[in-house]
């Protein structure tokens, strides 16, 4: 899609969706997976090049263990169920976040998804998992410091572009549009470095109710925006 390469989504509101129905929060996450599958397919059909979704933040460890392990199980079952479809649709999976502390079965499942889709050339579908924007910036700063100590980087001539290459999103352009469902007007530590000039779209719709029609509304809204990047018309 012209002028829209990268859409990022904060998939929020699963818990409230479930609560309104008198269901366990995990049921909201299950329903959220169905939305995700539809939105990946729609993004692919629309020719969007990059889709990044916030699945688990570095702060989400504060939740009850039962919910955390339920979320990880859900990711494993998502891969088991959808991987074939993703490959068929030429979708390349990527992961943004600190993987080293994730459970072993989660990492196995991720490795399988990355390996199976590594040659896909269609939609690049990135899952932010154990992702935090500040942690990502700090990690990049530490890499930079190490490179300087080794004489591999030169602080004087180090650019924003060079620093971007140290992020999880090294090969991904900054998000043009960040969508947040569930109504909260904040970024919750999502793509802190990359969101500097992203357009923001918030909808009160809970993630499990976020349909391709709602997605089209967000994209239509984006098309009306005047992106000045600090300049003037
Ligand atoms: C977002 O839904 C999904 C994750 C954080 C994994 P929530 O679980 O935050 O849903 P609400 O915000 O409590 O409704
Ligand atoms: C943001 O949602 C994280 C994800 C969608 C994975 P949260 O529900 O964790 O954010 P807060 O707590 O409302 O800021
Ligand atoms: Mg939430």
Beta bridge partner(s), residue 199: 177
Report the pLDDT value the prediction gives residue 233, as an integer from 0 to 100.
81
Mutate to test the pocket of ligand 1, among 9, 13, 68 (most ligand atoms within 8 A of CB): 13
For residue 126, how many other CB atoms are within 10 A of its CB? 24
- Indicate the pTM of the whole model: 0.98
Mutate to test the pocket of ligand 1, among 15, 186, 210 (most ligand atoms within 8 A of CB): 15
In a domain, 100, yes or no: yes
In a domain, 150, yes or no: no
| Better pLDDT: 122 or 233 | 122
In a domain, 141, yes or no: no
In a domain, 72, yes or no: yes
- Is 155's pLDDT higher than 80? yes
**Nearest Cα to Cα of residue 37 among 92, 81, 73:** 81
- Is 1's pLDDT higher than 90? no
pLDDT tens sequence across 48-97: 999 999 999 999 999 999 999 999 999 999 999 999 999 999 999 999 99
- How far apart are the CA of 28 and the centre of ligand 3, in A? 11
Report the pLDDT value the prediction gives residue 212, as an integer from 0 to 100.
98
For the chain, percent of residues with pLDDT exceeding 70: 100
In a domain, 233, yes or no: no
Q: Which numbered ligand comes closest to the C-alpha of 190?
A: 2
Q: How far apart are CA 1 and CA 23, in angstroms?
A: 38
In a domain, 191, yes or no: yes
Q: Look-up: residue for tokens 């989504």?
A: 9
Q: Look-up: residue for tokens 């859900």?
A: 74
Mean pLDDT of 33-37: 98
Question: Where does the pLDDT of residue 215 fall: very low under 50, low under 70, confident under 90, or very high at 90 and above?
Answer: very high
- Is 41's pLDDT higher than 90? yes
For the chain, percent of residues with pLDDT exceeding 90: 98
- How far apart are the CA of 41 and the centre of ligand 2, in A? 24
Report the pLDDT value the prediction gives residue 113, as an integer from 0 to 100.
98
C-beta 72 within 6 A of ligand 1: no
In a domain, 218, yes or no: yes
Q: Which numbered ligand comes closest to the C-alpha of 15?
A: 1
Q: Which numbered ligand comes closest to the C-alpha of 59?
A: 2
126 Cβ contact list (under 8 Å, min separation 6):
50, 51, 52, 53, 93, 94, 95, 96, 169, 172
pLDDT tens sequence across 107-145: 999 999 999 999 999 999 999 999 999 999 999 999 999
- How far apart are the CA of 151 and the centre of ligand 1, in A? 44
Mutate to test the pocket of ligand 2, among 19, 55, 60, 70 (most ligand atoms within 8 A of CB): 60
Q: Which atom of ligand 2 is the closest one to the Cα of 60?
A: 9
The residues lining ligand 2, judged by C-beta closer than 6 Å to any ligand atom, are 10-12, 54-57, 60, 184, 186, 188
Tell me if 8 sits within 8 A of 175, measured CB to CB: yes
Tell me if 76 sits within 8 A of 105, measured CB to CB: yes
- How far apart are the CA of 50 and the centre of ligand 1, in A? 23
Mean pLDDT of 190-219: 98
Domain with residue 84: its CATH number is 3.40.1180.10
Range of 117's domain?
6-132+175-223
Q: Give the total number of structural domains in the chain.
A: 1
Nearest CA to ligand 2 atom 2: 12
- How far apart are the CA of 45 and the centre of ligand 1, in A? 27
Mean confidence (pLDDT) of the chain: 98
In a domain, 214, yes or no: yes
| Residues tagged active-site | 12, 60
């Amino acid at each position: 899609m012209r002028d829209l390469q990268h859409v990022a989504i904060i998939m929020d509101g699963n818990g409230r969706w479930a609560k309104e129905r008198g269901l366990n929060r995990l049921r909201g996450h299950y329903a959220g997976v169905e939305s995700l599958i539809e939105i990946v397919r729609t993004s692919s059909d629309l020719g969007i090049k990059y889709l990044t979704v916030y699945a688990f933040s570095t702060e989400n460890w504060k939740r009850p263990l039962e919910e955390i392990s339920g979320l990880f199980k859900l990711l494993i079952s998502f891969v088991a169920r959808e991987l074939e479809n993703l490959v068929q649709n030429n979708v390349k999976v990527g992961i943004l976040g600190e993987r080293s502390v994730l459970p072993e079965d989660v990492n196995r499942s991720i490795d399988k998804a990355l390996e199976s889709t590594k040659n896909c050339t269609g939609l690049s579908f990135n899952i932010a998992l154990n992702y935090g924007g500040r942690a990502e910036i700090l990690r990049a700063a530490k890499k930079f410091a190490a490179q300087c100590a080794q004489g591999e980087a030169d602080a004087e001539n180090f650019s924003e572009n060079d620093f971007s290459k140290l992020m999880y999103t090294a090969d991904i352009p900054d998000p043009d549009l960040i969508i947040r469902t569930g109504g909260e007007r904040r970024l919750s530590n999502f793509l802190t470095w990359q969101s500097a000039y992203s357009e923001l779209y918030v909808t009160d719709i809970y993630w499990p109710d976020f349909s391709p029609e709602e997605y089209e509304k967000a994209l239509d809204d984006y098309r009306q925006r005047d992106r000045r990047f600090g300049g003037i018309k």
